[in-house]
Structure 1
Amino acid sequence: MIRDATPGTVSKPVCIEGVGLHSGRTVSICIRPAPVGTGIVFRRTDIKPGTGIDPLVPARWDLVVMSQLCTLIRNAQGVEISTIEHIMAAFAGCGISNALVDIDSAEIPIMDGSASAFVAAIDAAGITDQKGPARALKILKPVQVSRPGAWCRLEPATEMEIDFTIDFSDEIIGHQHMKLTITPQAFSSELARSRTFCRLSDVEAMQARGLALGGSIDNSVVVDGERVLTPGGLRWNDEPVRHKILDAVGDLYLAGAPIMGRFTGMKSGHALTSSLLKKAFGEDGTVQYLDT
């Protein structure tokens, strides 16, 4: 997961446009090069200079706040960026350690529901190796969080490994399990194109509550019992569990570095992964940053 043992950034700015999944608004983002030590930082360009409001929102585990159906970060002045999990997964998978992401709204565009558009943008910009040590977060001892019917755990390992299980009543999904060592090659071939998924009934319920206003069969896998309503069907028979791993890769990258450890998820999601990171950082002797 540590690309060429060096930090990296995009070689030049690259911009893309899409629709926010929950807002339904057209959103433009530009991924820009950033110096070593910056990390991933989002900048709200719709917040004008002179307002006294800080437009910068660093992608950090301690800035994650509770939200419905996505990962949301908020700075000390209340400025938010939501639905960051797929672009964060792309940064992790491509080995981007430092980047400034300009965005003209509060939500990252959903694109096709996967990380592929962000990976393609990074590939188009190119990646520049930066001078300095590669940072990793080593898991020193097991840590686990749970809620009724679901749990997730981090434990020591020499590489980043993810072991995920899902279980849905919909016949087209059912019980799925996948275990994968996360390398740039594995991310590109096995995860990047996997799309978010939901039940048709859930879409209707969310839109009735003012959520998923930008959701459609073009940017998510919509299922109804044993049917896939999205044109073209599934990209893999186990695309849903692959996407859950993709989400975990993005959410775990909020640790600020690739993780040397094994993540196991049992029917878990964004909120549990966030809770797991907070518990790991909050317990002495659980995690350690390494510079290699």
Structure 2
Amino acid sequence: MRCPVTNARAEVPAASSGWVASRMSTSLDLGGGRKLRTIEHLMASLAASGIDNAAVTVEGTEIPILDGSAARWCALIDAAGRVTQARPRLALRIRAPFQVDGLHGFLRAEPCAGFSVDVSTDRLPGFGVLRWAGPIDAASFRTAIAPSRSFGNASLIWRTLLKTRLARTLLPCATRERLWARSFESQTVCGGDGPGPTLPRPEYQRPIAPETQARMHPRDREPLLRGARPGRVAILLGGRVLGGARFPDEPVRHKILDLVGDLALAGRPILGRIVANCPTHALTFAFLTELMRHPECWEVVSLADLPPPTVP
């Protein structure tokens, strides 16, 4: 995708080569130690809308989080409209299964005529296994994925507060220990008759190169996202979304939103089925980086040369 992001000092292509590790978001390196954060929701909206040539002008170093979802970005794109260009669109077609593992999860690409996902997460406190699968196009993205919000775990906030000097001053040791233990009770993964997680395929696993691993973790102590606050993110506590969820499985749908945005840094649409459990921004970066090192697993094709999709 050619979506250069510009500000008063730099023009940076939206590509995995410019990816830089960032706290809870996807960022691009602006040079001089600066980064542009939180690009994933906008990138997902552009990619799902079939837009792969756009210029985005940004003031500051963080894309607005809005309400934590991609719904408004999709509405703005629809209002602005699209311009069809003369050059054919190129896509990255997966020819052979390719998988990377790490950070308590995995991410795999498999051959498929279109673009679809099968994503699960089983590490959210109290939620058990959440899983969503289906094709991703402009319509399905807008109705099923875009409205899902970024989420945060209230138990982690609670534990952070318990470690502060003020908590140690005001609360007796026994009280702090009891509250600390209670904060982990909601971490128990629920069982039941729900879906099972997606499963890795060890025979398709490829190693993550040491130089890629070295780029996967932030080296600076940057703050949390400035726009992230109640009302703009979904707060999770004890298997519930405070204030109500937009979907029963909203957290995994947002995982897919982020995944679609991160995969857009491949530079062109992907024709393949993406299977993942607990994907992260860093793991998706590693997946794209290592995939590019194995051209036997993919090929670049013109979308104009492909047969029309089969209607079921």
Which category describes the TM-score, using the shorter chain as reference length? 0.7 to 0.9
User: For residues 165 and 285 of structure 1, what CA distance do their matches in structure 2 show?
Assistant: 27
1:254 and 2:270 correspond: no
User: For residues 265 and 79 of structure 1, what CA distance do their matches in structure 2 show?
Assistant: 31
Q: Is the 8 A contact 2:259 2:279 kept in 1?
A: no
Give the counterpart of 1:202 among 147, 153, 156: 156
How much is the aligned-residue C-alpha RMSD, in angstroms?
A: 2.1
- Counterpart amino acid of 2:27? L
**Structure with bigger gyration radius:** 2
Does the C-alpha gap of structure 1 residues 110 and 151 become closer, same or farther in structure 2, counting only changes over 3 Å?
same
1:192 and 2:155 correspond: no
Q: Is the 8 A contact 1:57 1:79 kept in 2?
A: no
Q: Is the 8 A contact 1:115 1:194 kept in 2?
A: yes
Task: Report matched runs for 1:1-292 at 5 Å.
Answer: 39-45=2-8, 47=9, 55-75=10-30, 78-147=33-102, 149-171=104-126, 173-203=127-157, 210-229=223-242, 231=243, 233-291=244-302, 292=304
Identity %, equivalent residues: 36
User: For residues 159 and 7 of structure 2, what CA distance do their matches in structure 1 show?
Assistant: 30
Q: Which has the higher helix share?
A: 2
User: For residues 160 and 17 of structure 2, what CA distance do their matches in structure 1 show?
Assistant: 27
Q: Is the 8 A contact 2:2 2:267 kept in 1?
A: yes
User: For residues 155 and 113 of structure 2, what CA distance do their matches in structure 1 show?
Assistant: 42
User: For residues 133 and 75 of structure 2, what CA distance do their matches in structure 1 show?
Assistant: 25
SS at match of 1:285: helix
SS at match of 1:129: coil
Larger RCO of the pair (alpha carbons < 8 Å, separation 6+): 2
User: For residues 218 and 270 of structure 1, what CA distance do their matches in structure 2 show?
Assistant: 23
User: For residues 74 and 95 of structure 2, what CA distance do their matches in structure 1 show?
Assistant: 31
Aligned residues: 244
User: For residues 241 and 293 of structure 2, what CA distance do their matches in structure 1 show?
Assistant: 42
- Counterpart amino acid of 1:43? T
User: For residues 239 and 287 of structure 2, what CA distance do their matches in structure 1 show?
Assistant: 33
Does the C-alpha gap of structure 1 residues 192 and 282 become closer, same or farther in structure 2, counting only changes over 3 Å?
same
Q: Is the 8 A contact 2:103 2:283 kept in 1?
A: no
Q: What TM-score, normalized to structure 2?
A: 0.73
CA deviations on 1:181-213 (whole Å, 9 max, x unpaired) are 111111111111111111113356789973234
Q: Which has the higher strand share?
A: 1
**Could you tell which deviates more after superposition, 71-80 or 111-120?**
71-80
SS at match of 1:219: coil
- Counterpart amino acid of 2:56? V
Q: What TM-score, normalized to structure 1?
A: 0.78
User: For residues 83 and 203 of structure 1, what CA distance do their matches in structure 2 show?
Assistant: 21
**Could you tell which deviates more after superposition, 216-225 or 144-153?**
144-153
Question: What is the deviation of 1:174?
Answer: 2.4
- Where does residue 23 of structure 1 map in the other structure? none
Question: What is the deviation of 1:147?
Answer: 1.6
Q: Is the 8 A contact 1:57 1:80 kept in 2?
A: no
- Counterpart amino acid of 1:42? V
- Counterpart amino acid of 2:13? P
Does the C-alpha gap of structure 1 residues 187 and 103 become closer, same or farther in structure 2, counting only changes over 3 Å?
same
Question: What is the deviation of 1:87?
Answer: 0.3
Q: Is the 8 A contact 2:153 2:236 kept in 1?
A: yes
